[in-house]
Amino acid sequence: MKGKIALEEHFNLPEFDHELPVYVNTDSKLRKDVQERLLDAGARRLEEMDDAGIEYSLLSLTAPGIQKQIDRGKAVVQAEQANDDLAELVAANPTRFGGLAALPMQDPVAATAELTRCATQLGFPGVMVNGFTNIGDVDTGWYYDHERFWPVWERAEGLGIPIYLHPRDSLPANTGLYEGHPELLGATWAFTVETATHALRVMTSGLFDRFPKLTFILGHLGETLPLSIWRIEHRASNLRDLRRFDKPLSHYLRENFYVTTSGNLHTPSLQATVSELSADHVLFSTDYPYESMREAATWFDRVPISESDRIKIGRTNARQLFRLDE
């Protein structure tokens, strides 16, 4: 399929290059290749997009990015600079690239202002937040269900800006489960547990009752939530005295979330996800450069789904969600 749109496509800036975790790849040669690809938003990336039939990519600052900065003031400055730099990359190839804004969630007031600036001045149609935000030290993190962030989400809802909730590993205090098993960190498993739990915190906080048109996006076919939501909802229904949310959790997943195919090229999982959410809430992505554009595109172009669903997932859903025709 030609003309695909991809929206979990990462880039990096030289000042963040040293912050990539070791688990990105323990093979030094492959790790170096990933670092080089992250820093490229030119001919090499465009050639790979052309080869994969990807017409347009929404670029986002790779994890952990701004979310790792423990100093509130520095986070504000870094986010503004990162977004300005991304705007320059987009301006160099506006028909091929768009941008997802980075936000300094360490300062919700500044994050709201930066969201507004990115949407109204820089033309970014969405936001990428790389998991929880550190504040003060590496052992302290803020999750986005807290009411301190509600002004950010109110502005996002008002502007029609989707929020892509991207993975990162758990806080150090929560990683004991993986002790002695570093192979389970990162994208292997820890990312999924962390991000799915974060999404459930957001769902159960009452956030979507307060802002019913707010939209979040999850990668990797929804971090297993489309496959698990029945049991989660079923058990939560027995805890009515603890509930802070009004509707079934499956309602929020179907109405307030979209999921992408990034880094999860498993046909039965895609089919189950479409069955649970409908093809209208699934989007194509590749997770470049951590995954291969060609591999993602080859799988997607051949996966046994209807051609109308392929076009929706590959292109038209993204155009509508991010209002790219505007």
Tens digit of pLDDT for each residue in 260-317?
Answer: 999 999 999 999 999 999 999 999 999 999 999 999 999 999 999 999 999 999 999 9
The residues pairing with 213 across neighbouring beta strands, listed in sequence order, are none
CB atoms near residue 92 (< 10 Å): 11
pTM of the entire predicted model: 0.96
Say which residues have a Cβ less than 8 Å from residue 51's Cβ, sequence separation at least 6: 293, 294
Burial class from Cβ neighbours inside 10 Å (0-12, 13-18, 19+) for residue 121 reads: exposed
Q: What does the alpha-carbon distance between residue 162 and residue 183 come to, in Å, rounded to a whole number?
A: 32
Per-residue pLDDT at 142: 97
Q: What is the pLDDT along the chain (326 residues), one digit of tens a residue?
A: 999 999 999 999 888 766 566 555 566 788 888 889 999 999 999 999 999 999 999 999 999 999 999 999 999 999 999 999 999 999 999 999 999 999 999 999 999 999 999 999 999 999 999 999 999 999 999 999 999 999 999 999 999 999 999 999 899 999 999 999 999 999 999 999 999 999 999 999 999 999 999 999 999 999 999 999 999 999 988 877 777 889 999 999 999 999 999 999 999 999 999 999 999 999 999 999 999 999 999 999 999 999 999 999 999 999 999 999 86
Catalytic (active-site) positions: 287
Tokens of 236: 């939560």
* pLDDT value, residue 215: 98
Distance from the first to the final alpha carbon of the chain = 23
Give residue 24's pLDDT. 56
Q: Is 193 helix (H, G, I), strand (E, B) or coil?
A: helix
Q: Map out the domains of the chain with their CATH numbers.
A: 4-321 (3.20.20.140)
CB contact at 8 A, 57 and 9: yes
What per-residue confidence (pLDDT) applies to 18?
65
Give the count of beta carbons closer than 10 Å to the beta carbon of residue 47. 11
